[in-house]
Amino acid sequence: MNQNGKTYRVLIFGKEGCPKCDVLKDRLGKTLGKGDWADFDQEYFSVKTPQGLVAFSRAQCINPNRIPAMVVAKRNPETGAYEMLPNPRPGEEDKVCQKSRLYQYLGLQTDYTDVGKGVISPKMITTILEQAKAL
């Protein structure tokens, strides 16, 4: 794991050859490249590798049929380990993230229904990042 000391880390779960996974990595990378998000970094996990599958399993609440997904973790200053942030309002309606919002942790998974259309938008990403900073 990259231990660069940033306060937040966005864990991305995907798999090689998945165009939507590449789009999420690109959108998140562009977002984190802006000054507002200097205290965030990202780490990618392929669910096709043992390391990625273990990290995915620890995320607990992501549906494997809704990859790509992302979860925000915060560095514990005492241990240096990144811990996934709980969703402060599980089950609450979210007009921006809708059904892509995770229930247990602060993050998103892809909604492939006609409503979600398989898109995790930049606005959805920034909404989750803003909520992480507010915790």
Q: What is the pLDDT of residues 15-49, one digit of tens each?
A: 999 999 999 999 999 999 988 899 999 999 999 99
56 located within any domain: yes
Integer Cα distance of 72 and 120 in angstroms: 15
Residues of the domain holding 19: 8-134
Asked whether the predicted pLDDT for residue 61 surpasses 90, the reply is: no
Nearest to 64 by CA among 104, 15, 107, 99: 15
Q: How confident is the model at residue 4 (pLDDT cuts 50, 70, 90)?
A: low
pTM (two decimals): 0.92
What is the total count of domains within the chain?
Answer: 1
Whether 117 is in a domain gets the answer yes
CB 44 within 8 A of CB 14: yes
| Domain contains 1 | no
Q: Alpha helices, DSSP H only, in 1-135? A: 19-32, 50-59, 122-134
At position 49, the amino acid (one-letter code) is T
Nearest to 27 by CA among 132, 129, 131: 129
The tens digit of pLDDT for each residue in 104-130 reads 999 999 999 998 999 999 999 999 999
- CATH number of the domain to which 36 belongs: 3.40.30
Identify the band that residue 5 occupies on the pLDDT scale cut at 50, 70 and 90: confident
**pLDDT over 60 at 10, yes or no:** yes
Backbone angles phi, psi at 64, to 5 degrees: -60, -20
Token pair in block for residue 72: 């925000």
Q: Give the pLDDT confidence score for residue 35 in this predicted structure.
A: 83
